[in-house]
Amino acid sequence: MAIQRSEFTARYANFVVHDNTVYLSGVIPENFDGSITEQCEEVFIAIDSLLGKAGSDKSKILSMQCFISSFEDFDQFNQAYDNWVDVENLPARATMQATLFDPRVKIEIVLVAAI
C-alpha cells in the first residue's frame, strides 16, 4: 500500500501514513517559554491539526508516548490532557521523563493513530 507523507520540514515529515495508520513526528510547543499548561495546550492543538490533515482525529489515537521534562509537571500535564482527550476513546499511553530538545521545552508527544 502506498505511503503518504506530509509536507516536509527540512528534516522530517510531520506525519507519515501507511496501511490506515498515521505516525506523527514528536510534537513540541512552538513557544518554548510557556508554562507547562500552555505548552501542553499548544501541543494538543498541534496534534489535532496534524491528525486532521492526515484524515484522522483524536478519537482514533492508538498509542501515545509522552515525554515530560520533569515529573513535577505531571499533575498539570494530566489536567491539560484530561481537558483534551476524548474520554469515549482513550488511547494507550505511557509517560516518561526525558531531557528534551531545548531546556525550556517541557513536553514532547509521539503518537500513532488510525485513519
Instruction: State the nearest-atom distance from the C-beta of 89 to a copy of itself, in Å.
Output: 7
> Quick one: 31 or 71, whose CB is closer to a copy of itself?
71
d(CA 103, CA 69): 8
- Read off the amino acid at residue 96: M
Q: Which residues of 71-88 are buried (b: 16+ CB within 10 A; e: fewer)?
A: eebeebbeebbeeebeee
Q: Which of residues 45-64 bind a copy of itself (CB under 8 A)?
A: 60-64
Which one of residues 35, 75, 92, 104 is an interface residue with a copy of itself (CB under 8 A)?
Answer: 92
User: First-to-last CA distance in the chain?
Assistant: 14
Instruction: State the nearest-atom distance from the C-beta of 80 to a copy of itself, in Å.
Output: 12
> Quick one: 33 or 103, whose CB is closer to a copy of itself?
103
DSSP 8-state class, residue 55: T
Is residue 25 a contact residue for a copy of itself (CB under 8 A)?
yes
> Quick one: 34 or 50, whose CB is closer to a copy of itself?
50
